Each structure stands twice: as structure tokens, then as C-alpha cells.
Chain A
Amino acid sequence: MIKLDRVTKVYPGGTEAVREASFEVEKGEICVLLGPSGCGKTTTMKMINLLIHITAGKIYIDGVDNTKIDEDELRRNIGYAIQDIGLFPHMTVRQNIETVPVLKGWTKAERAKRVETLLELVGMGSGEFIDKYPSELSGGQRQRVGVARALGADPPILLMDEPFGAIDPITRARLQDEFLKIQREIKKTVVFVTHDIHEAIKMGDKIALMNEGELVQYDTPANLLYRPKNGFVEKFVGADRALKGLQLIRVKEFMWGFPPTVKTDETAQAARQRMKREGINQMVVVGEGRKFLGWVEWADLEKGKMVSEIMKPSSDVATVDTVLNEALSIMLSTRLNNLAIVNEDNRLEGMLSFDAIRKALSETAQRGESE
């Protein structure tokens, strides 16, 4: 889909920003350009839509040399998302999103339909946002609009320049999850720039790690972690690669599906028997339709009381697609030994314990050694 062939960028004045970078991004894949600042990752990305001109080498898009395409036309067919400052402050959410459709001459009806679809896609479809200005939105909302705008005219390719850079870690993790979910649906070819190794491992199907203008390693996240090509990669990945490897694993691989549960209207006695049988000291409390409500602890099981009286309500949960290191950080911050895994309707799907994460850790470490 996108092929870089010995692409070089030399700025006037002689600074060599990128040196003979060659790699190929497959259709429907997310390719993360990763590296320390000044490594040439952003320059590389901007040469794809010719915001920066190529000094030597070629970039092919679907087999066509991109310098042979009219620049404006090229850019209208490549979605472009940057940090939230990239939204036009004088335009409403709707006007921002329909920027490219307007440039492409879509009719009003077509545009209105597209804007609605996109807002729906990024989870802002309630109609309450469409006529707001960027200054009236939260950082996370602006970011979602930024993604929607990049998808405006349904381009096959998406370039994202640190799109989740300027927001708090919790919102960022959520936006990353949302984007991955959207990506499963829309299957765009994405080039994603970041300096954050965690984000790269989480988002990338492939990672292009760059340093001082050169492509050091182009590989899957797992290979980058466990088969570093040289000392630089090893150092960049860090010594805690087993921990980082947790980013490659989703909750569903290690959770306890259909764990024992207790209902609020049952007695402490009933809970005690069940916990003894299962050998656990914390048990999930569910309500109507297996909705997650909280936990009961072994130590709180007083005779004669109802579960509703002794349970500890909780709203800290994860989903089956949460990556393990995020699940772990939720558990550490809530001081629970277990984490409830729920679906979108807060319906219990499983339970994740510290032991499971420990198991995952030792397995990934072995995976690294055996490879």
C-alpha cells in the first residue's frame, strides 16, 4: 500500500533528516514510526503526503510514485490527524469534520450524512457536539473529532502525528483502545508517529524504530522486544521488556471466564461456602443480568448478614481487550487483588487476578528466551 524506497531527506543547509529509509506498510496495517525526538520519524511521515519534499528515493502509494500525483489531490486522499491544536478553532465540529468533503465537492446531504456517521464512529453521535466549537470540548473530545476529521472523506490511508500526545494518560489509554476498535472496523492503512514505546507496542502491527535519520529496525512489536537487532534497540526498548511485553497481551488470554459470583440478596453464609469451595478470598458481586456491582471479602463474611450489607461497591473494571499492563495499573491503584472484566453494558465476563498476570509475565519472559 505504502512503499518507501531508499527515501532520503536533506534540508537546505545540509542537515540529513532521513537517510535511505526503506520499508513497506501493508494494506490495513498500523505502522508506528518510533524513535527519540529528532530521529526523522515525523519527517518520514510528512514525505508520504509531501508536506515535506523528498530529496532522493521514492515513495509509492498503491504502486504510484507520490510525486507524480497532484499534491492537493494526494493529500485529500490521505487522512491527516495531528495533536488537538490541529482543529480549526473558528469552525464547528461539523465544519471541521467536513473540511475534506467540502474540498472534494461533496453535496450538502452527503456531507451531513458522513459527519453523522463519523461522530457516531468516534462515540460522539448524540448530536450535542455537532455545532460546538473546539474550545467548548474537552481534550479527549477534541482528539476524537481530530480522528473523525482525518477520516472525513473516507481515505484509504491515515497519517497520525502523535495524535494522542497532548492528553492525560487515562484518557489517552481510552482513546487508544477506541481507535484500535474503530480500526478493526475500518481497516485503514495507518502510519502513526510517536516517541512513546508503550504506545508503539500497543498500537503497532509493525514498528519502524528510527535513530538519527536511519531506520534501525522494522519489525513486529514482539520481535522488537525479544529480538532487538542491536544495542540501540535494546536500550530503547529498556530493561523491563517483560513488563512491556504485557502490552502485547489482552485480558481475555489470561482472565478467568465465568468466575464464581454471588448476588446481593444472598446470605453471607452462602457466599462463604462458595468461596471456600473455590479457594478464593474475594468474590464478585453481581446484580440483575450479571451486572458488576462490587466485591465481598472473606474477612467481612459475618454470619447472619446479607451480601448487600457487607459488599464493597466498585466501578473499577476492564474489558477483554484491555492490555495486561493497563489492567495491572488499575489493580495497583485500586488495591484490589482481582479485577472485574465486563462488557460495554457492565455485564460480567470474567475476572483477572494478580496470579494470572504473574503467569503471563513468566510466559512472555520464556517466549523471549526461547526465540
Chain B
Amino acid sequence: MIEAWQFVIRNPEQMVEWTLEHLWVTFIACSIAVILGVPLGIYITDKGKEQIADAVLYLAEITMTIPSLAIFGFLMFILAAIGLPSIGFTPAVIALIIYAQLPILRNTYVAIRQVDPAMIEAGKGMGMSERQLLFRVKLPLSVPVIMAGLRTAIVMTIAIATIAAVIGFGGLGQAIWWGIRGARMDLIIAGGVSVAILGLLTDIFLSRVQRWVTPKGLKEM
């Protein structure tokens, strides 16, 4: 433990660099996952798309069960075959998007589906078009649940991004990876504890954000 602390003190620049890399890949992966997952989640809630919804959610759930190590390895081959960089940032981001997808997709789907039918009928009864209904009623009422999904996705991504070190992406996983290879306990602890702290701080920060973006009338008084 003391050795790990000494490593951090002696190599502050390295630690900061790894942390920033870690946060950056998390940010990019989750942003793209939101851009893909939220619209898809909304799309599959439409009437008559129940089967598509089942299929999509099932697929997303299956990908969650694939070990992350296998996904990274698998992506290396695929990306190499189509001529994209097979190590480093690109496969790391793609893999993380896949993982972040499920909580975002599922929470969006559940959030929209659970909007009180009376709300929808009130909106419709007053002459809102489907689009107006979505943006004025369904989405605002879904914000808390969608945000909870995003929060899960981000914290999870921070954890999984650690493993991306094995395919040559840096981040805090690098410290652990080097520690394993060189039998350096101090590196393993420095990396591991940093990831845990990063996850914790991010979660606290996100809970604030969640409160902040929740429409005022929906907050508990």
C-alpha cells in the first residue's frame, strides 16, 4: 500500500495522463452510446414494434454476457480485417460503446414505456402530434430513468476501460497490466485504487447531474 502511494507521488504526470486517457475514452464511448441508444430505445417503444424491441434488448443483453477480454480480442481481428487500427483507442471505444449500450437502451425503453397512459392520453386528447407528445410529455417524464441508465453505463465503462490496456490502450488499466506482467504489487494497487476512486467520484458527480436535469415538478419535495 505504501509502495503504491510512493509510486503515485513519484510519477504524478504519468498518473494524471492515465486518468485523463481513462476519462476521455469513457466520455467518447458513452457519448456515442447515448447518441445511438436513446433514439433506438425510443424507436422500439412504438406500437407494433414489440418484436423488434424484444430482439434488440435480447441482443444487447447477450453482448453483456460476453467477457470483455473476448470482445477486445475479437475486435482486434475484425478491425484488422477491414483495415482499421486494431489496437489502441479505436477498438477500446468500440468495445465500450457495445457495453454502455444496454443500460442506456434498456432504461430509455423502460422509461418511455412506463409513462402513465393517462399522461399520454391527456396530451393526445389536447391535440399533440406524436412528435409533440414525445418531446413535451414522454421524454421529460423519462429523464430520471434514462439518466439512471446513463449513470450505470458511465460507471461501468470506467471499470471495463481498465481491461482495454491489454489491447494497447493506455488508461489506468496500464498500471495494473504492467503490475501483473512485472509482478509489481505497487502498480496493481495504484491502478486499481485509482479506478475505484474515479468510479466513485464520477458516480457522486453524476447523481448531482441527475438531480439537476430532472424536471423540477418531478423532484421529491
B122 partner residues in chain A, CB cutoff 8 A: 80, 82, 86-88
What 4 new A-B contacts, CB under 8 Å, besides A87-B122, A90-B141? Answer: A71-B127, A85-B118, A89-B218, A99-B128
Confirm or deny: A267 has a beta carbon within 8 angstroms of a beta carbon on chain B.
no
Contact indicator B125/A90 (Cβ below 8 Å): no
Q: Which 9 A-B pairs have the closest CB atoms?
A: A76-B127, A133-B217, A90-B215, A75-B127, A80-B125, A86-B122, A90-B140, A72-B127, A90-B217
Given A90-B216, A92-B217, A133-B217, A103–B118 Cβ distance below 8 Å? no
12 contacts between A and B (CB under 8 A): A71-B127, A72-B127, A75-B126, A82-B121, A82-B122, A85-B118, A86-B118, A86-B119, A90-B217, A99-B123, A99-B128, A103-B128
Confirm or deny: B116 has a beta carbon within 8 angstroms of a beta carbon on chain A.
yes
Contact indicator B127/A100 (Cβ below 8 Å): yes
User: What are the interface flags for B107-142 relative to A under an 8 Å C-beta threshold, 1 for contact and 0 otherwise?
Assistant: 000000000101101111111110010001100110
Contact indicator A82/B217 (Cβ below 8 Å): no
B119 partner residues in chain A, CB cutoff 8 A: 85-86, 88
Compute how far the CA of A86 lies from the CA of B116 in the bound complex, rounded to whole angstroms.
9
Residue of A nearest to B214 (CB): A90
B215 partner residues in chain A, CB cutoff 8 A: 89-90
Compute how far the CA of A87 lies from the CA of B132 in the bound complex, rounded to whole angstroms.
16
Contact indicator B132/A103 (Cβ below 8 Å): yes
Confirm or deny: B82 has a beta carbon within 8 angstroms of a beta carbon on chain A.
no
B136 partner residues in chain A, CB cutoff 8 A: 88, 99
Number of B residues near A (Cβ < 8 Å) is 22
Contact indicator B218/A103 (Cβ below 8 Å): no
Compute how far the CA of A134 lies from the CA of B126 in the bound complex, rounded to whole angstroms.
18
Confirm or deny: B197 has a beta carbon within 8 angstroms of a beta carbon on chain A.
no
Confirm or deny: A65 has a beta carbon within 8 angstroms of a beta carbon on chain B.
no
Q: Which of A75-120 contact B (CB under 8 A)?
A: 75-77, 80, 82-83, 85-92, 99-100, 103
Residue of B nearest to A134 (CB): B217
Contact indicator B116/A135 (Cβ below 8 Å): no
A41 to chain B, nearest CB (A): 16
Compute how far the CA of A89 lies from the CA of B127 in the bound complex, rounded to whole angstroms.
18
Confirm or deny: B81 has a beta carbon within 8 angstroms of a beta carbon on chain A.
no
Residue of A nearest to B215 (CB): A90
Compute how far the CA of A133 lies from the CA of B216 in the bound complex, rounded to whole angstroms.
8
Compute how far the CA of A88 lies from the CA of B115 in the bound complex, rounded to whole angstroms.
11
Compute how far the CA of A71 lies from the CA of B119 in the bound complex, rounded to whole angstroms.
18
B125 partner residues in chain A, CB cutoff 8 A: 49, 51, 75, 80, 82, 159
Confirm or deny: A136 has a beta carbon within 8 angstroms of a beta carbon on chain B.
yes
With beta carbons under 8 angstroms apart, the residue of B124, B218, B221 that contacts A90 is B218
Given A82-B121, A133-B216, A134-B217, A89–B141 Cβ distance below 8 Å? yes
Confirm or deny: A306 has a beta carbon within 8 angstroms of a beta carbon on chain B.
no
A74 partner residues in chain B, CB cutoff 8 A: 127
Contact indicator B217/A75 (Cβ below 8 Å): no
Compute how far the CA of A283 lies from the CA of B118 in the bound complex, rounded to whole angstroms.
51
User: What are the interface flags for B34-77 relative to A under an 8 Å C-beta threshold, 1 for contact and 0 otherwise?
Assistant: 00000000000000000000000000000000000000000000
Compute how far the CA of A149 lies from the CA of B127 in the bound complex, rounded to whole angstroms.
13
Most buried by B among A71, A88, A136: A88
